[in-house]
Amino acid sequence: MLAATPNAAPRAWASAPAPIRVLIADDSAVVRGLVARWITEAGFTVVGTAANGRIAIEMMARHDPDVVLLDIDMPELDGTEALPRMLAASPSLQVVMMSTLTTRNADISLKCLALGAVDYLAKPESNRGVTTSDAFRTELVERVRLFGAARARRRGPAAAPAVPGPVPPAQGPAPVPVRAPTSFSLRPKARAATAPRVLLVGASTGGPKAVGEMLEKIGAAALRRVPVLIVQHMPPIFTAVFAEHLATRTGLPAAEGKADERLEPGRIYVAPGGRHMGLSGGQGRDPVIRLDDGAPVNFCRPAVDVLFKDAAALFGAATVSVVLTGMGSDGTHGARALVEAGGAMLAQDEATSTVWGMPGSVAKAGLAHGVLPLSEIGPALRSLITGQVA
C-alpha cells in the first residue's frame, strides 16, 4: 500500500458541488453593482452584468448561468422581450423578474410568470431604497439560492482544480446526486357527509401560475357552487392584479377581499397583499371577510394559517382545501385544524411544485388526503365540490 502524500489533492474534489452562476440584467449601474456584491458575498458566482436584454442574451451564450435576475424596464431590449429568447436558448434557465411596485409592472410580472419566469421580485422605487432595504436583499439572495441549487445540481460536480503533485487515479464518472424519496402517509379518503360550502387555496412561490391552471381545470360550473378564498403570498398591488388575471382566466368575478364582505358562491376572493384575510361570523351571522394588520404569521402577511383556522371554526367539515407550491410551512397548522374538523385537504406533489415547502410540510405532517400532480388537483377538487367521481 502506498503511503499517503501530504500534498496530495483531497478526494473530496471529485464531488464538490458546482457553484450557482448568476447573470444580472438591470439598466441601473447602482443596482447591478449592489446586487453583484450581495450575490458574491452570499457565496455565489456572478458570471456577468448587463445594462439591457440584448447584452444579457449575448452573455448567456458565453457563460451559461443558472439564474438570471431580469429587470423589466431596460433600453434596446427590455425584460419582457428578452425572457422568451432566453428560455428558447436554455429551457431550464431560472429567470427571476425584477420590477418596481407599480400596477403596470405587476401585470407584466404576472404575464412573465405565464411565459416561464420562475418568480418575481418587487424592487424598491429608488436606488437609495435598494441600498437600504435589507428585506429586498434577503429575498433576492434566498431566491438565487433556491432556484440556482436545483439547476446547479443538474450540472454535476464542479471541475477539479489544478493541483500540483501526482495525478489522482482515474475514477469513472462522478455519481449524479439522487434526491432520496420523501415518505409521507395519506389520511384515509372519506367523502364528507356535509356538502362543501367553501374552497380554500394557499400558495406562495410558483403559485400565481399554479393557481390559475388549477382553477381552469376545476371549471367554472363547479366553481360557481362555492366561494373561493385564496391566500397567495404577494406584495400589495400584485394581489389586485393577480385577481384580475384570475377573473380573465376563469370567467368568474375575482377581486381582493374586503372587510365585512359576505361570501357568495362563484366569486373568487384574494387576500390583499400586506394584510391577513380571515373570516368571522357565527351566532346566526353569515360568514364575512375579516381583514387585519396583525403581526406576520410564519413570517407571512397574508398568511394561509389565518384563513384556514378561521374557516375550520366556521365551516368545519364543509371545507375543501388545497396547499400549492411555496416556500416555508405556512398552512400546516391551519391544515391540521381543517382536517380535524372533518374537511378535505389536498397538497401539490414535489415533482410539479416550484418549491415543495408548504405542500411538503402538509404532506409530511400526514394532513393530506391526497398529494397530487398539479394537473390532477383541479379534477380532484371538482369531484369533491360536486360529489361526482372524476
User: Are 206 and 356 a contacting pair, CB within 8 Å?
Assistant: no
CA distances, 234 to each of 59, 71, 101, 330, 363 (Å):
31, 18, 11, 14, 23
Catalytic residue among 66, 71, 107, 233: 233
Active-site position among 305, 330, 353, 361: 330
Cβ pair 211, 232 in contact under 8 A: yes
66, 99, 109, 204: the catalytic one is 204
Nearest alpha-carbon partner for 44 in 21, 27, 72: 21
Active site residue 383: no
Report the 10 Å Cβ neighbour count for 93. Answer: 22
Distance CA 187, CA 373 (A): 17
| DSSP helix/strand/coil, 366 | coil
Beta strands 285-292 and 119-123, pairing class: unpaired
What gap in Å lies between CA 331 and CA 344, rounded to an integer?
14
**Annotated catalytic residue 78:** no
Question: Distance between alpha carbon 227 and the CA centroid of its chain, in Å?
Answer: 24
272 vs 303: CA distance, rounded Å: 11
Would residue 73 show up in a list of annotated catalytic residues for this protein?
no
Element containing residue 292 per DSSP (H, E):
strand 285-292
C-alpha–C-alpha distance, residues 168 and 295, integer Å: 57
Instruction: Please name the residues in contact with 265: beta carbons below 8 A apart, sequence gap of 6 or more.
Output: 224, 225, 226, 227
Residue carrying C-alpha cell 397530487: 372
Residue 140: closest CA among 60, 207, 42, 47: 42
The residues that are catalytic are 204, 233, 330
